[in-house]
């Protein structure tokens, strides 16, 4: 094992996202769940974790639809940036959901699913 096992975790997160899942870390000490790029547990500061894959399906907590997107996203006609909570565990994740034009298309509580990781647009979502 590497002396710095946390290095490269974002690459692992991306590879798991491409399988439509979310890679999280479960603290071996207090069982808190956090996103994989967290190195020390925010609750107990332990640094030993189990890597766990969860299904990338959850409910929308909040979102926005950009009219003025940052560079790199101006090739998309319309998209939402979405914060959602996974169904399997109380873990929030955020991602890019193309094709949403109006807030009425995405009521709070709507179901979304991770469908991949796009080199240009990040964690790619689909509305269920």
Task: By CB under 8 A, name the binding residues for another protein.
Answer: 10, 35, 37, 42, 61-74, 76, 79, 81, 83, 92-96, 103, 108, 121-123
> What tokens appear for 54 in the block?
């969860």
Q: Which H or E run includes 10?
A: helix 9-17
Q: Whose Cβ is closer to another protein: residue 3's or residue 91's?
A: 91
In this structure, are residues 128 and 57 in contact, taking their beta carbons and an 8 Å threshold?
yes
Q: Which two tokens stand for residue 77?
A: 């006609």
Copy the structure tokens of residue 15: 């590879």
Minimum CB distance to another protein smaller for 3 or for 77: 77
Minimal distance, residue 69 CB to another protein, in Å: 6
Shortest CB 27 distance to another protein, Å: 15
What's the half-sphere exposure (Cβ side, CA atoms, 13 Å) at 113?
Answer: 8
The neighbour count for residue 114, using CB atoms within 10 Å, is 25
Q: From the CB of 103, what's the least distance to another protein, in Å?
A: 5
Query: Measured from the CB atom, is 20 or 73 closer to another protein?
Result: 73
- Counted residue by residue, the chain has a size of 128
Q: Which is nearer to another protein, 29 or 61 (CB)?
A: 61
In the complex, minimum distance from the CB of residue 56 to another protein, in angstroms, rounded to a whole number: 13
């Amino acid at each position: 094992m590497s002396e710095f096992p946390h290095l490269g975790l974002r690459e692992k997160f991306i590879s798991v996202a491409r399988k439509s899942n979310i890679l999280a870390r479960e603290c071996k000490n207090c069982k808190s769940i956090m996103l994989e790029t967290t190195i020390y547990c925010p609750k107990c500061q332990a640094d030993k974790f189990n890597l766990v894959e969860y299904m990338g399906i959850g409910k929308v907590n909040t979102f926005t639809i950009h009219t003025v997107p940052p560079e790199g996203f101006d090739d998309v006609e319309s998209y939402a940036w979405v914060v959602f909570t996974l169904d399997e565990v109380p873990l929030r994740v955020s991602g890019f959901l193309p094709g949403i034009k109006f807030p009425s298309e995405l009521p709070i509580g709507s179901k979304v699913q991770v469908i991949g990781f796009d080199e240009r647009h990040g964690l790619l979502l689909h509305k269920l």
